[in-house]
Amino acid sequence: MADLLGLLLRVAEKAANVARVCRQEAPLFQLLVQEKTGEEKNKKFVQDFKTLADVVIQEMIRHDVGAQFPEIAAFIKGEESNKFENGLGESVTVTVCSTEEETATLLATVLDGDDTAASLLAKAIHQDPDTIESGTDGPTVPLNPSELGIWIDPIDATSQYIEGREEVLEENHLSPSGLHCALVLIGVYVRSTGEPVMGVINQPFHHKDPAGGGWRGKHYWGVCFGNIHFCSEAPPKGSPEAERRLSVVLSSSEKQMVKEALTSLCGPDRLMYASGAGYKILCVIQGLADAYVLSEGSTFKWDSCAPHALLRAIGGGVVDLSLSLRSSCGAQDQKMELTYHQPNADCTGADLWANRGGLVAYRDFSQLHSLIQTLKDKL
């Protein structure tokens, strides 16, 4: 597991490099955007997008992890279909080929013959992950790779990535939107139980290099299995939880009745709004918010698996909101925690893996209990 964590940190940084490369040239970036349709479309948004960066990152991670851990290869799932359509109407299946040149040739087909852009992407894709510093040795966990599966969200908050608004991150402050909301998420779960046990989050656009002006990223990781709990993020310091009101981060499109109920619990100044499911859970991990509440089934296993593992590593978790509201045991019941191994019955496409009951991401059980009790009368 230590070897797997190190590899995931390295391939996540490779993924961040690809995301940055795809934003370097505006005309190229406009060419890369494709609208999702049919079963792939997220019903939450009027428009949803698929980018070549999404597909390339997903397939690159699948390729690199599968090469070193072949026993996991068939259980690496991602958000994106790897079929792409170029400007000529030709459908191309994007994969990582055996050589950089072959991958460049394939990508040039998607990029309407733009060999320069295709070569640039292929070079980033074929970088040897062993040449990237992972920054950690990682803990030893008694799990065999043959017991594990992986969920990839190649670029969470794709709309923010496409819009590309540059914001300066203030330390200890949540920022509602911008490029920093776009994250690479890689989550590892136990196939037999669906328990999330390892997560890697890479924030490709964390800050600008003062010397060169280019974007630099930051990574976060967590491992939680049995009595083993490690996280790159220390529990946030500040006032004891009981001495201050809860703070909750929401989507701006959250139901009005939920906003009103939480306003009565927290106060209007303690409700915050941000883009991207992964970024909102990261805000909870960092202590920028105490919880993230979502009443709709508009997130998916690839959104929540990685940050869920980090939250578990610091004593929190992510529960199914609908199940928690109906349960006589309340949110303390571990059966309320999201799992990642079973598709939803009677669903197709992306909805197979939707978190249909909504969710609450939290750091503290007592705060979770207060949230569930507040929402029980409203939903």
Among the listed residues 54, 80, 195, 337, the single catalytic one is: 54
Among the listed residues 13, 59, 64, 79, the single catalytic one is: 79
Among the listed residues 13, 158, 281, 285, the single catalytic one is: 158
> 153: annotated binding-site residue?
yes
CA-to-CA dists, residue 16 to 19, 117, 127, 159, 351, angstroms: 5, 17, 12, 16, 27
Among the listed residues 59, 64, 156, 296, the single catalytic one is: 156
Tell me the residue type at 42: N
Tell me whether residue 241 is one of the annotated catalytic residues. Answer: no
Among the listed residues 153, 254, 290, 337, the single catalytic one is: 153
CA–CA gap between residue 90 and residue 84 (Å, rounded)? 8
Nearest to 319 by CA among 367, 254, 275, 265: 367
* Torsion, CA 321, CA 262, CA 279, CA 294, rounded to 10: 30
Among the listed residues 303, 314, 320, 337, the single catalytic one is: 303
Among the listed residues 57, 152, 155, 201, the single catalytic one is: 155
- Assigned token pair, 77: 């799932």
Tell me whether residue 155 is one of the annotated catalytic residues. Answer: yes
Tell me whether residue 158 is one of the annotated catalytic residues. Answer: yes
Give Cβ neighbours of residue 331 (< 8 Å, ≥ 6 apart). 319, 324, 360, 365, 368, 369, 371, 372
> 79: annotated binding-site residue?
yes
Give backbone dihedrals phi and psi of 296, rounded to 5 degrees, phi first: -95, 160
Helix 115-125 / helix 2-21 crossing angle, nearest 10 deg: 160
> 155: annotated binding-site residue?
yes
CA–CA gap between residue 208 and residue 220 (Å, rounded)? 18
Give backbone dihedrals phi and psi of 201, rounded to 5 degrees, phi first: -120, 130
Q: Are 272 and 182 in contact (CB under 8 A)?
A: no
Nearest to 158 by CA among 36, 276, 274: 276
> 125: annotated binding-site residue?
no
Nearest to 321 by CA among 253, 258, 235, 256: 258
Sequence ranges of the binding site: 79, 153, 155-156, 303
Residues annotated as part of the active site: 54, 79, 153, 155-156, 158, 303
Sequence ranges of the binding site for Mg(2+): 79, 153, 155-156, 303
